[in-house]
Amino acid sequence: MKVLVAVKRVVDYNVKVRVKADGSDVDIANVKMSMNPFDEIAVEEAVRLKEAGKVSEIIAVSMGVKQCEETLRTALAMGADRAILVETDVELQPLAVAKLLKAVADKEQPQLVILGKQAIDDDANQTGQMTSALLGWSQGTFASKVDLAAETVDVIREIDGGLETVKLRLPAVVTADLRLNEPRFIKLPNIMAAKKKPLDKTTPADLGVDAAPRLKTLKVAEPAKRSAGIKVANAAELVAKLKNEAKVL
């Protein structure tokens, strides 16, 4: 069974994000970049499925600038067999990524697509669902456990009321939640071995996909700083402040 795993290059989660002086975008100049944490969980799950003998090949795919090669090499070091980079300088939005994933899936014919439930830069939580719709495949989102069989996959997913178990007929799209697993520490020999694994490159034009953005960012601003809390003498004063100052009553 072949598995396709999508990974995204984002600002490292330990880095404090800063906005450009002109408010046009987030400043990523000289900022540490890494694999989106939810995508890292997706790669780990694919590797575990392969180690369990349920998967024969893992293909990592990323879309974006040339530097995304580093992210793909990380996926290869974790255990992916080969990688595909859809190289473009265009700002990729969820719909464009979903279309590109569909094009890659049509070419590679995987039985399962795994990706993170969302990216920590835009928090869109849309790509997995859009990919499923475009492919016409079953989908299991927010997966906290995945049990893969020959023709089906059972996904335990987190919902507001607790946990829900769904059985999906393959092929399917699964998005990984935080509790699905804990990604492994990558050892140096695996990093060195990853440099020799195949990494193919293509472009949206080669895949026949129009990746032009549909949305335009007008302004980016940091959230307003929270003011210090105060103590009130009694409930009446609290109600008065909520009504007259906070305007929430």
Residue 67, domain member (yes or no) = yes
The total domain count for the chain is 1
Gyration radius from the chain CA atoms: 21
CATH number at residue 112: 3.40.50.620
Q: Which domain holds residue 219?
A: 2-244
Residue 151, domain member (yes or no) = yes
Residue 35, domain member (yes or no) = yes
Judged against a pLDDT cut of 90, whether residue 30 lies above it is answered with no
Burial of 14 from C-beta contacts in 10 A (0-12 / 13-18 / 19+): exposed
Q: Are 104 and 134 in contact (CB under 8 A)?
A: no
Residue 30, domain member (yes or no) = yes
Residue 249, domain member (yes or no) = no
Residue 124, domain member (yes or no) = yes
Reported as a single tens digit per residue, the pLDDT across 109-148 is 999 999 999 999 989 999 999 999 999 999 999 999 999 9
Residue 247 pLDDT: 85
**pTM for the full predicted model:** 0.87
Residue 53, domain member (yes or no) = yes
